[in-house]
């Protein structure tokens, strides 16, 4: 009878230096161990002796450090796009869509756009809509903070962006 190989115990120390979350590391170890087990069983079915099959399976991974690097890059790049989507794009588009719907609602209710200037310098604006924009910005910032944005309180930053401008300009002038 052939001895049962514990591929996870073999893979775990080889991937110990992998700098990803523990849950993800367990998943990677389980997946790699399952792949090695499948390869091992396939070689045994082909008639390879136990030791030869074991060594051929281990030879599939020639450089464990390189494998760690590739797994880290693959896991990190997936998270960057997912974070960007949840922290930036979804809140941004939701804020834009809601503010435009709010403007359309104001127009349907009879609020008229004010016209300032003439010719190419004409500016149209709706005061109630402009007053609602900080609230939509705060909503977008809240959604971003729920998705993990760190730093100053996002709601305050989105609601009152002008409060930070003098400090920024004073740094530039120094």
Structure tokens, 66: 């390189």
Domain span at residue 119 reads 81-173
Q: Which residues pair with 125 in a beta bridge?
A: 114
Q: Please give the pLDDT value at position 1.
A: 39
Same structural domain, 138 and 99: yes
75 assigned to some structural domain: no
Same structural domain, 131 and 53: no
2 assigned to some structural domain: no
State the burial class of residue 65 (Cβ atoms within 10 Å of its Cβ: 0-12, 13-18, 19+).
Answer: exposed
Q: Please give the pLDDT value at position 156.
A: 52
Same structural domain, 99 and 131: yes
Distance CA 148, CA 142 (A): 10
Same structural domain, 25 and 96: no
Same structural domain, 27 and 99: no
**95 near 101, Cβ under 8 Å?**
no
70 assigned to some structural domain: no
13 assigned to some structural domain: yes
Same structural domain, 85 and 162: yes
Mean pLDDT by 10 residues, the chain (174 residues): 69 83 86 90 90 88 84 70 77 91 89 79 81 89 78 52 53 46
pTM for this structure? 0.44
């Amino acid at each position: 009878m052939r001895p049962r190989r514990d591929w996870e115990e073999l893979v775990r120390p080889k991937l110990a230096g992998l700098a990803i979350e523990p849950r993800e590391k367990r998943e990677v170890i389980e997946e790699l161990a399952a792949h090695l087990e499948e390869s091992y069983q396939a070689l045994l079915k082909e008639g390879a002796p136990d030791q030869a099959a074991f060594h051929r399976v281990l030879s599939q991974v020639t450089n464990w450090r390189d494998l760690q690097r590739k797994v880290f890059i693959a896991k990190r790049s997936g998270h960057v796009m997912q974070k960007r989507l949840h922290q930036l794009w979804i809140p941004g588009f939701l804020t834009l869509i809601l503010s435009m719907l709010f403007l359309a609602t104001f127009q349907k209710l009879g609020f008229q756009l004010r016209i300032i200037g003439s010719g190419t310098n004409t500016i149209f604006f709706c005061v109630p809509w402009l007053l609602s924009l900080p609230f939509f910005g705060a909503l977008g910032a809240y959604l971003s903070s729920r998705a993990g944005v760190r730093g100053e309180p996002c709601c305050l930053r989105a609601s009152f962006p002008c409060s930070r401008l003098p400090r920024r300009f004073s740094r530039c002038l120094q």
